[in-house]
Amino acid sequence: MPSIPSYDLSDKDFLLFSRLVYEKCGIHLHEGKKELVRSRLSKRLRELELPGFGPYLRLLAGPDAEDELVRMLDAISTNLTSFFREKRHFDFLESEALAGIRERMSKEGRQDLQVWSAGCSSGEEPYSLAICLSEALGVSSRVQIKILATDLSSRMLEAAQSAIYPHARVAGLSQDLVRRYFLKGKGRMQGRVRLRPEIRNLVTFRRFNLMEPFHSSLHFDVIFCRNVMIYFDKPTQEMLVGKFHKALRPGGYLFIGHSESLMGIEHGFRYVQPTIYLKN
């Protein structure tokens, strides 16, 4: 049985990877991430039958590297999420934020409620938003819910678009929510659930790198960008928060992760409560 090759990642090559990843997607790979990079990319090197990280870096720097860059970033990205994670955000959106947003929508004469899940991973967050807003607005509402869900990882987006999850993923939800918004798998899909079409249709998935320019036509009422900025350094966080501020309508809300804050960076938001900010 042939032995599985192992690869050493030199300090020099790790520095080159760190610079490349920072340049491409703003993720700051500090020294403590060296082993993570080595272990996660070693599998890719074996698949490509490359002898080491040096040749892989040259591949990534080549003229036809776009697809491989996506694969590389997929490999080093951490994707951890769940339905209604940090539930108080959804409670606040439903009980406090939504009334003011709907009032402004009425004054502006529009019926579309625009939400962005930035860093949507495998889809639990945008689908939770779709369920939350559907619950809050009711079936008779004329409001059109439009949720844009983006992520850097094409692998995660493919999983998200399928909207299929192991039944264990919904074990923490009420049976009523599961019954109304999920379909139980049968036969070869036994033990899995899938979001109902009326929820799936509220979400549009796109691959998007947050370091790229935001389209000037993007205007949202709510942005969820949670547990994403922890990977960025302060200058990158400040730049990104500024872009979110421009992309939100006045009176719009930015939700960030429980381990994140906007302290130490300049921004135009008004603090509402921990991890929740308002654009005046």
> Which residues are annotated as catalytic?
40, 151
Q: What is the DSSP letter of 170?
A: G
Could you give the CA distance from residue 231 to residue 211 in angstroms, rounded to a whole number? 13
Between strands 248-256 and 220-225, the pairing is parallel
Alpha carbon separation from 270 to 173, 190, 279 (Å, rounded)? 32, 47, 6
Q: DSSP 3-state helix, strand, coil percentages of the chain (rounded to 5)?
A: 45, 20, 35
Largest Cα span, the chain: 71
Q: Which residues pair with 4 in a beta bridge?
A: none
